[in-house]
Amino acid sequence: MISNPPAPCADDDWCDDVPVERMRWFTGRFMTARDLTDEQRYLVGRRWLLNRVLHGEGVVCGLEVRPDERPECAATTVWIEPGIALDCRGRELISRRRQCVTWPGAAEPGCDPPPQEERLLAIRYREQAIDPQYALLDDCAPPGAKQPTRIREEVEWRLATREELWHCWPRERPQTHDDCGDEGGDPCGQGGCIKPDCRCGGWVPLVLLTRHDGGAIHISGPLSGRLPAAGYLTKIARVSWKHGGEIELDQLIEQRGRLEVDFGRPLLAADGDASGINSFTFRVEFGGLDRIMELMPSADDSPALEDGTRAVFTIARELWDPEHRDQRQRLRRGQYRASLRGTYIVVTLLCDFILDCHGNPVDGDHLGGRLPSGNGTPGGVFRSWFAVS
């Protein structure tokens, strides 16, 4: 049981653990097991260091916690889906299979469950020495002893009480980093850059599980931040116009005034006006060279998300359909607009607030006008334009 928060450098002396010497090989060099071990230590240590300082701590993908599908197991079992996370030291926690998590039984048989129970579900990196073989020469073992020849990297989970991992427990006030006074006074590094901040002792909290009177287990929202990998981000895959090109008005009429944007992965439904496809995140402007741009009027149900992967902005019908155009309608500047012909249309999507099915912002930067979009980081602004001829 963990009763006190560990010191930031409890696991290792990080002043010495960051590798700064790499092996130099040449023909005829005498090599020992120590040399090969040091070669691995340098490469692995540098990779973990870069993971930590460039990406941080949290869940990269997967690792969702889901209830058991069987009603009779809803009070005793949850499942951790496969996924990847990074811990406070930058070590990769790779869980390749679903893991079954069972709620601990009562301390004594026949006891009634307490009114409320809480457990913190967390995972941690673990190494296991495997595949032992006889060592011919080993200063640390007697003759004929076996030594493991491989190290297996695994992920272990834990259901912890508040007393066991109280320093990892969710707080009403967000955790702050107390490293503002470290400049010049910390031999391990400045501002927590070299020395990791392991307030959870290497554990990565996933969710808080709550059970009332022995009933079904309630699963909280994710506790660790999301660290989406560049290759795992959702991108904008297609638009229904040619960027920087022209669309004939007849073609726009055939499309029923629809401007379509296809995404490479299903999106989360809109959360009111806060996130998702809505009038704030999917904006369309129009105008000409002789007037300022203004917001494009749209249909009542526009913009909308269709089939989870297509965002549609439908231009107000009186602007593209001659049969429904009100010729008496005037613009703010008092000018008549007979149609969209001769205007420019600019489409903007604020992808910081458009989330995919995993909760990651869409990688939307429209670099060079190329599709699929993206610059390898979540979020960004997608902007494209075309002319109506």
Which residue type sits at 316? A
> What pLDDT, in 10s, does the model give residues 87-119?
999 999 999 999 999 998 766 666 777 888 999
> What pLDDT, in 10s, does the model give residues 273-293?
999 999 999 999 988 766 678
H or E stretch covering 44 = helix 33-50
> What pLDDT, in 10s, does the model give residues 150-173?
999 999 999 999 999 888 888 766
Q: Among 243, 264, 241, which Cα is nearest to 254's?
A: 241
> What pLDDT, in 10s, does the model give residues 326-383?
544 444 444 444 467 788 889 999 999 999 988 889 999 999 998 899 888 889 999 9
The answer on pLDDT for 9 being more than 50 is no
Beta strand pairing call for 65-67 and 92-95: unpaired
Count how many Cα atoms sit within 13 Å of the Cα of residue 54 in the half-sphere of its side chain: 11
> What pLDDT, in 10s, does the model give residues 13-52?
444 568 888 999 999 999 988 899 999 999 999 999 999 8
Q: What is the DSSP string of 323-381?
A: GG--TT-B-TTS-B---STT-EEEEEEEGGG-BBTTSPBPB---GGG-SS---SSSB-E
Residue with tokens 């203004």: 294
Q: Report the pLDDT value the prediction gives residue 92, as an integer from 0 to 100.
A: 95
CA separation, residue 345 to residues 82, 244, 289, 316 (Å)? 44, 10, 11, 14
CA distance 310 to 261: 6
Q: Among 124, 43, 46, 126, which Cα is nearest to 87's?
A: 124
CA distance 72 to 109: 19
Residue with tokens 């309608």: 329
Asked whether the beta carbons of 234 and 356 are under 8 A apart, the reply is yes
Task: Write down the architecture of domain 231-388 according to CATH.
Answer: Sandwich (2.60)
Judged by DSSP in three states, 15 sits in helix
CA distance 303 to 259: 9
CA distance 241 to 379: 22
Asked whether the beta carbons of 115 and 212 are under 8 A apart, the reply is yes
> What pLDDT, in 10s, does the model give residues 218-260?
999 888 877 777 778 899 999 999 999 988 888 888 888 889 9
- Largest Cα span, the chain: 101
Asked whether the beta carbons of 299 and 314 are under 8 A apart, the reply is yes
E strands within 4-145? 58-62, 65-67, 77-80, 83-86, 92-95, 99-102, 116-134
CA separation, residue 290 to residues 248, 285, 333 (Å)? 20, 15, 12
- Domain ranges, ordered by start, for the chain: 14-24+34-227, 231-388
The answer on pLDDT for 184 being more than 90 is no
Q: Report the pLDDT value the prediction gives residue 236, as an integer from 0 to 100.
A: 92
Q: Among 82, 111, 67, which Cα is nearest to 210's?
A: 67
